[in-house]
Amino acid sequence: MDFFRRWLVGRDLRRARALEGEGYLERALAVYESSLELANEAERVTALRQVGSCALRLGKLARAREALAECVKRTPDDPDAWLLLGQTQLELRDLLGADEALHTALQQAPDRIDILHAQCEVYAIKFPRAAFEAGKRVIGLILEKPQEVERLRFPRELPLVFLRNLAMEQRFVDETIATFDELAGKGNRWIKPVALNHKGILLANTGRLDEAVTAYLAVLSADPEFDAAQLNLGLVHARRRDFDAAKASLSVYAKRHPTDALSTYGFGVLAETKPDVTEMVRLYSFFLERMKTNPPAPESLGRLDVARGWVQHVETVIEHSKRHQAEHHEGDAEATS
């Protein structure tokens, strides 16, 4: 009987991990939950941690906190569970609980990059200066410990995105630009174009458009295949109303990525900026269709100068334009009747 129980639980946990890995979080969560009834202590801890992970990603924060609180009670030396609990508490805006959980995680795994980054996000809410310094420390560890980054599968650009966004929110712009310049000068093959690209996004979003162009050109000089900078360059040229330069940069990106939703988005922005309403509606509608079938990978968006609500903006613009056109046609019909 015990053998059959272990076989059932093992099968369910393997199935749940596969579903989670493929992104079927709701189904994975259900299987993890169902495995709890027959699980032994070790299996229960594993299932609880993954229930917490899936529930957190699905926004089911109460269940995530409940599962992870039980998990750390059973295995108080598990840094992964403490990290997940800290991230859940942060989402719930329990800053004290988040800080305590992440502090405990670091006691179990000092200098672990993903935990330190999560701590930066907690600091950013109340202690932005501390968050800025902590973010720089995380980037330093990423450069020092590339094997650790690979082992954790930690997105190495994430702390640069964090610093860039923090700079815009807290007005640490010049200090952050200096940090990006310092990183670009380190001679590390991957960090130079990345740092310059984030510098360009920061400059563009603080109104320093000509400097942003210079930054993006420096990215492409360092790495001609850094296509995100080519798209960003086209977008900033459009904002500068240099439409020929914008079209040239966007065309380079589109030629390399002919089926990419972002190619259509870039030309849509150009049409909106001119403005060419008919072309804008056509391109943005095509963009939304492509987003349904071939959306960009979430991690790639951090490299791009797109606002958080960019898709909603496109939907709103299309709706407003179509309503305006319908009202215009109605007015014309009444005038001729």
**Given CA atoms 331, 332, 336, 337 in this order, what sign does their dihedral have?**
negative
Residues 6+ apart with CB under 8 A from 82: 72, 101, 102, 104, 105, 108, 115
Q: How many residues does the chain have?
A: 337
Mean pLDDT, range 152-157, rounded to an integer? 94
Mean pLDDT, range 227-246, rounded to an integer? 97
Q: How confident is the model at residue 10 (pLDDT cuts 50, 70, 90)?
A: confident
Mean pLDDT, range 177-197, rounded to an integer? 92
Q: How confident is the model at residue 98 (pLDDT cuts 50, 70, 90)?
A: very high
Mean pLDDT, the chain, rounded, equals 92
* Distance (Å, whole) CA 32 – CA 29: 5
* Distance (Å, whole) CA 3 – CA 262: 52
Q: What is the pLDDT of residues 243-284, one digit of tens each?
A: 999 999 999 999 999 999 999 999 999 999 999 999 999 999
Residue 331: the pLDDT is: 55
How many domains does one find in the chain? 2
Residues 6+ apart with CB under 8 A from 75: 45, 81
Q: Is the pLDDT of residue 62 over 60?
A: yes
CATH number at residue 27: 1.25.40.10
Q: Is the pLDDT of residue 332 over 80?
A: no
Mean pLDDT, range 39-44, rounded to an integer? 90
Residue 205 resides in a domain: no
Residue owning tokens 């299932």:
47
Q: Is the pLDDT of residue 213 over 80?
A: yes
Residues 6+ apart with CB under 8 A from 117: 135, 138, 154, 158, 159, 162
Task: Centre a 10 Å sphere on the Cβ of residue 105 and count the other Cβ atoms it contains.
Answer: 26
Percentage of residues in the chain with pLDDT exceeding 90? Answer: 84
Residue 140 token pair: 């330093």
Residue 330: the pLDDT is: 57
Residue 206: the pLDDT is: 95
Residue 219: the pLDDT is: 97
Residue 20 resides in a domain: yes
- Of 110, 132, 167, the domain-final residue: 110
DSSP H helices in 109-242: 113-126, 128-144, 146-152, 158-170, 173-184, 191-204, 209-222, 227-239
Residue 3: the pLDDT is: 66
Mean pLDDT, range 72-91, rounded to an integer? 97
233, 216 contact by CB (below 8 A): yes
Residue 322: the pLDDT is: 82
Residue 26 resides in a domain: yes
Residues 6+ apart with CB under 8 A from 305: 200, 201, 204, 205, 232, 235, 236
Supply the DSSP symbol for 40.
Answer: -
Residue 32 resides in a domain: yes
Residue 211 resides in a domain: no
Q: Is the pLDDT of residue 69 over 70?
A: yes
Determine the structural domain holding residue 268 and report its residue range: 237-337
Predicted TM-score of the model (pTM):
0.88
Residue owning tokens 């609880």:
48
- Of 110, 129, 160, the domain-final residue: 110
- Of 78, 95, 110, the domain-final residue: 110
Q: Is the pLDDT of residue 325 over 80?
A: no
Residue 334: the pLDDT is: 53
Residue 231 resides in a domain: no
In b/e form, how buried is each residue of 64-94, taking b as 16+ CB within 10 angstroms?
bbbbbbbbbeebeebbbbbbbbbbbbbeeeb
Residue 308 resides in a domain: yes
Q: How many CA atoms lie within 13 A of 260 on its CB side?
A: 21
The closest of 253, 241, 205 to 215, measured between CA atoms, is 205
Percentage of residues in the chain with pLDDT exceeding 70? Answer: 95
Residue 2 resides in a domain: yes
